[in-house]
Structure 1
Amino acid sequence: MGACLSTTKISGSNSTTPSNADHRRTATATGKHNEGGSNVKSHTPTEIHRNQKQKQKTQQQNNHKNKRKEKSTSRKGVIPCGKTTDFGYLKDFDSNYSTGKLLGHGQFGYTYVAIDKSNGDRVAVKKIDKNKMILPIAVEDVKREVKILQALSGHENVVQFYNAYEDSSYVYIVMELCEGGELLDRILGKKDSRYSEKDAAIVVRQMLKVAAECHLHGLVHRDMKPENFLFKSKKDDAHLKATDFGLSDFIRPGRKFTDIVGSAYYVAPEVLKRKSGPESDVWSIGVITYILLCGRRPFWDKTEDGIFKEVLKNKPDFKRKPWPNISASAKDLIKKLLVKDPRARFTAAQALSHPWVREDGNASEIPLDISVLSNMRKFVKYSRLKQFALRALASTLDEEEISDLRDQFHAIDIDKNGAISLEEMREALAKDLPWKMKESRVSEILEAIDGNTDGLVNFTEFVAATLHVHQLEEHNSEKWQHLSKAAFEKFDVDKDGYITPEELRMHTGLKGSVDPLLEEADIDKDGKISLLEFRRLLRTASISPRPRSNHHHNNNNNSIQIPSSHGVGARLDVDSLTSTQG
């Protein structure tokens, strides 16, 4: 199998202009022509293949319709934006490559096997028709896809980008040829359509590495599913490669996507609520992990509407076979990947630190976690009281709660002396690519985290600045009650259930009035801080400012267009599904 073009199953936007998703239908390299996640209507492999063939037939019919529309547009004298655009790519494709076998096709073009004339290597070439880039946004989609492939170039689990070319009629994207087939095909080829835990962990680890790398670049894949992962070769130990970045997009920290894109079975709850970010990729990997281990989808219904209701309201089933025979560690990971609140969901880098995923207990290749770097930036903006409270909480945590943060600390502590210096902090923050960090800000962040003012950040100080409070509360509410009370009692010396101004002054070592600190947490204005008020302070310490939209939106358009299994569009009122979800 090689590379080809595929489409996505669901897309919708609040935008008053055509949605990016409507034009983002061309993929990079996928194993074969396939219609995406929601085309699967039954549990059996035979029926899955039958439905895929039906989807391919429907797509061919749609392609004929699109060609008629394009001819009609051409007769009206409209010049496609693609024809008038110089992409700035190389102009000598035919001098460097000869095209061969057709691998697949999509809305905007075709993918072929090609031969590099300089060395005889086989590559995949995506040939995109400029005549079909009618609107400016279609041109921007192609440019963005090339930019994404360039940004991720060199990662062992991403299809490699070699170069981009153009002539008067086409854009050519030259990529690594993957001939091992789709992950979906390997799942279906397994006994009972499921993997052993050991083999599944290898696959999941590779997907998480891709997600973590994307997120470090400020990139969200937005359509992670088995069809979008290829194996380099047919060997059992072949590398898994992420493909199809046609829906992927860059996002600034603190912003959210408001359009709805992806594949129905793998879409995260926050995508349906129109406020999604990098966390949605982790949800999709959680769904894939569930499928790998049991051969079934965690959220299933006969209709897209029903699937979305399942995603929003229900939890995965871990009682049916084979789950009683699957390890507690595997189930623990899946539950942490499929937390409905994205703030409490594991990040990709956190999941790579999970015992079930770690390769032979080795964490040496765990990448920096974008959320850890982001939390360090947030910490400097917190009030003094919030910082003191988080340090107290950090000192109560055991190794189980902070194992992922220890991996992150070791990744930043280059000289392994047990402390992070200014230079090590600067180097770590420089890897947080979405931000443009000034030198003065690095010093400011280190100074805020450095509680004992020795010019270095020790592990406890690091944990205080980077821990995920919502995860602690969501994953084990009983333990959260215990830990937060223990942190509270570090202030409440006389154990009367309240933190008084004098106790606050004793704990912080501050001189003068502590009234400004007290007032922040003292909601009922009784002059002291109760345990409930203290817990509220800890929770709000990890809440970001109100997110800004990453897309212009119009509140009058609350439904999305979803291609049905018969090729007829069905309207779904998303707000009716999410109105009770908070």
Structure 2
Amino acid sequence: MGGCFSTTKISGSNSNARSSTTVGGHQQPRRRTQTPADKHDGGGSNFNSRKTKQQVNNDRNKMKNKVTSRRQNGVMSCGKRTDFGYLKDFDQRYSIGKLLGHGQFGYTYVATDKANGDRVAVKKIDKNKMILPVAVEDVKREVKILQALSGHENVVQFYNAFEDDSYVYIAMELCEGGELLDRILSRKDSRYTEKDAAIVVRQMLKVAAQCHLHGLVHRDMKPENFLFKSTKEDSPLKATDFGLSDFIRPGIAYYVAPEVLKRKSGPASDVWSIGVITYILLCGRRPFWDKTEDGIFKEVLRNKPDFRRKPWPSISTSAKDFVRKLLVKDPRARFTAAQALSHPWVREGGSASEIPLDISVLSNMRQFVKYGRLKQFALRALASTLDEEELSDLKDQFHAIDIDKSGAISLEEMRQALAKDLPWKIKESRVSEILEAIDSNTDGLVDFTEFVAATLHVHQLEEHNSVKWQQLSQAAFEKFDVDRDGYITPEEIKMHTGLRGSVDPILEEADIDKDGRISLPEFRRLLRTASNVSSPTACKGSRNVQF
């Protein structure tokens, strides 16, 4: 997508030599990475229902014969028959210059704007090669995504899309600083200093957070897909390759997340990939490696990154903590992109104003209204036990929503925040309902404690520090268990909540063994089930879901 056409090879003490060709920020077509999930027809562990090599070849030949037959019979390709609705005056506005590279569907050039002399990158896509409808949809999706993300400082800028009878032209920002991968390889031992690595990682996380707010999952985050605007050392990093790659498929094995291998990928998968990149930036090796792709997939699913080999002993505790929280195998417990931006290691040199709204925070607020009363009370009790360290990322999110800095979130501020959750189209009446559910003291505002109760990530608390989780959950339990007999009774629920009348329906929510009281294990289970992040995970384009 930018002005870079280079052939690069990843190398290092723990890597396979693997070459790739980048064309203006887009990878040339390559054989699709196969995952274990591709080898069976369900989510289990048995690799059944495999196609034989002969069957695969037969399928390919059938498709090839079908395409050849269509051409011989004079059947027009889908691309030629499609009016994309783009501008028709490309030749009047731009003159094409140097070729940067080429891919499956067309070529990327440097072009000059005839009106002002500005140089841009233009992807020229051949309509004749868009044989099937999916190729047409790929181009449309690329343009749609570029339009949605354009304006972000770390995304290659989209200028316009054009078409004529034979081609589609996508005019974009020209990036001439080369790939992030090239700069990694040019460093001593293929390593970045911690300070420089944090600057690079912060820019990647901003892109991921912006994508997630739009309901998009990049799913192919890797160094080759980030270009520098210029050759200057402080040049901004630009994300590329959003369109012609299929967002539904997994990316390169080295960077693929565990849940992708199980066909459950979502926004957290991008965060995993950034964690892998961060690991490489800091030590010059990949955290998961084997001689084969299947071997890499097994490493990703089974093993943890090695933080014992050099240079990790000399790398800061904060950096290691950051990488560990991005490389958590359970996506529910993994940091979100916005949370990662609040981490002290990556935040150094940044400011709270640079931290975008977290899609999972907005999602949790929507989810909170659906919880039973006891779950809501239990989460409020847990929120009151947390200290400053556990609340740092949520404090950033609270300040981002509290626009007037009054110390409380109003209905209008809540409405504006939820409106930024672009994949969801929330009715005005639902905004009021959400605020009322979170507002436990009924003053019409959401203070920080109420906000934390509605948005905290219980799975992260448990995953990151199991001992502390045991302590915090017990402290929350004891806020109900007044007589300290190890159980919460209906009378104690009334005392804690101020509810009147029968609380049996509320008790049933957590009373698994039906003994008329709630034990500590039952209380912890209630907290875990209350933490159900429901952020969008598909990215066939932004969804508009009526809530």
- Give the TM-score category using the shorter length: 0.7 to 0.9
Q: Which residue of 2 aligns with 1:252?
A: none
Deviations 1:107-150 (CA, angstroms, capped at 9, x unpaired): 11110011111111110000111011111111111001000000
Cα contact 2:14–2:286 (8 A) shared by 1: no
SS in 2 for 1:405: helix
Q: Which residue of 2 aligns with 1:32?
A: 5
Shift of 1:222: 1.0
Matches of 2:387 and 2:488, distance apart in 1: 24
State the AA in 1 paired with 2:238: K
Shift of 1:44: 8.1
Q: Which residue of 2 aligns with 1:271?
A: 260
Shift of 1:104: 1.1
SS in 2 for 1:310: helix
The structure-2 alpha-carbon separation of the partners of 1:107 and 1:440, relative to structure 1 and needing over 3 Å to count, comes to same
Of 422, 427, 430, the match for 1:441: 430
State the AA in 2 paired with 1:390: L
Residue correspondence of structure 1 range 334-373 to structure 2 within 5 A: 334-360=323-349, 362-373=351-362
The structure-2 alpha-carbon separation of the partners of 1:325 and 1:157, relative to structure 1 and needing over 3 Å to count, comes to same
Residue correspondence of structure 1 range 306-385 to structure 2 within 5 A: 306-360=295-349, 362-385=351-374
In the TM superposition, structure 1's runs of 4+ consecutive aligned residues that sit over 3 Å from their partners are 28-31, 39-45, 58-62, 68-73, 544-551
Cα contact 1:410–1:416 (8 A) shared by 2: yes
Of 135, 147, 158, the match for 1:161: 158
Q: Quick check: 1:518 aligned with 2:507?
A: yes
Cα contact 1:222–1:248 (8 A) shared by 2: no
The structure-2 alpha-carbon separation of the partners of 1:352 and 1:419, relative to structure 1 and needing over 3 Å to count, comes to same
Matches of 1:171 and 1:368, distance apart in 2: 35
Matches of 1:436 and 1:227, distance apart in 2: 34
- The unaligned stretches of length 5 or more in structure 1 are 1-27, 250-256, 552-582
Shift of 1:363: 1.5
Shift of 1:34: 5.4
Q: Which residue of 2 aligns with 1:24?
A: none
Q: Which residue of 1 aligns with 2:494?
A: 505
Q: Which residue of 2 aligns with 1:200?
A: 197
SS in 2 for 1:391: helix
Between stretches 415-424 and 228-237, larger displacement belongs to 415-424
SS in 1 for 2:5: coil
Deviations 1:473-520 (CA, angstroms, capped at 9, x unpaired): 001000000000000000000111100111011001000001011111
Matches of 2:258 and 2:252, distance apart in 1: 12
State the AA in 2 paired with 1:165: F
Deviations 1:350-379 (CA, angstroms, capped at 9, x unpaired): 000000011336222100001100000000
Cα contact 1:33–1:105 (8 A) shared by 2: no
The structure-2 alpha-carbon separation of the partners of 1:531 and 1:454, relative to structure 1 and needing over 3 Å to count, comes to same
SS in 2 for 1:464: helix
Matches of 1:372 and 1:477, distance apart in 2: 22
Of 507, 529, 532, the match for 1:540: 529
SS in 2 for 1:307: helix
Deviations 1:58-98 (CA, angstroms, capped at 9, x unpaired): 97999xx99x9866652243321000000000011111111
TM-score normalized with structure 1 length: 0.83
Residue correspondence of structure 1 range 170-181 to structure 2 within 5 A: 170-181=167-178
Matches of 1:158 and 1:546, distance apart in 2: 22
Q: Which residue of 2 aligns with 1:102?
A: 99
Cα contact 1:30–1:244 (8 A) shared by 2: no
The structure-2 alpha-carbon separation of the partners of 1:325 and 1:30, relative to structure 1 and needing over 3 Å to count, comes to farther
Indicate the percent of aligned positions where both proteins have the same amino acid: 81
TM-score normalized with structure 2 length: 0.88
Q: Which residue of 2 aligns with 1:119?
A: 116
Matches of 1:313 and 1:450, distance apart in 2: 43
Shift of 1:32: 2.6
Matches of 1:431 and 1:422, distance apart in 2: 15
* Cα RMSD (Å): 2.5
Matches of 1:218 and 1:158, distance apart in 2: 16
Cα contact 2:160–2:171 (8 A) shared by 1: yes
Residue correspondence of structure 1 range 45-444 to structure 2 within 5 A: 48=17, 51-52=19-20, 73-246=70-243, 259-360=248-349, 362-444=351-433
Residue correspondence of structure 1 range 470-509 to structure 2 within 5 A: 470-509=459-498
SS in 1 for 2:450: helix
SS in 1 for 2:391: helix
SS in 2 for 1:280: helix
Q: Which residue of 2 aligns with 1:564?
A: none
Matches of 2:534 and 2:68, distance apart in 1: 49
Cα contact 2:156–2:173 (8 A) shared by 1: yes
Matches of 1:418 and 1:298, distance apart in 2: 42
Equivalent residues, number: 505
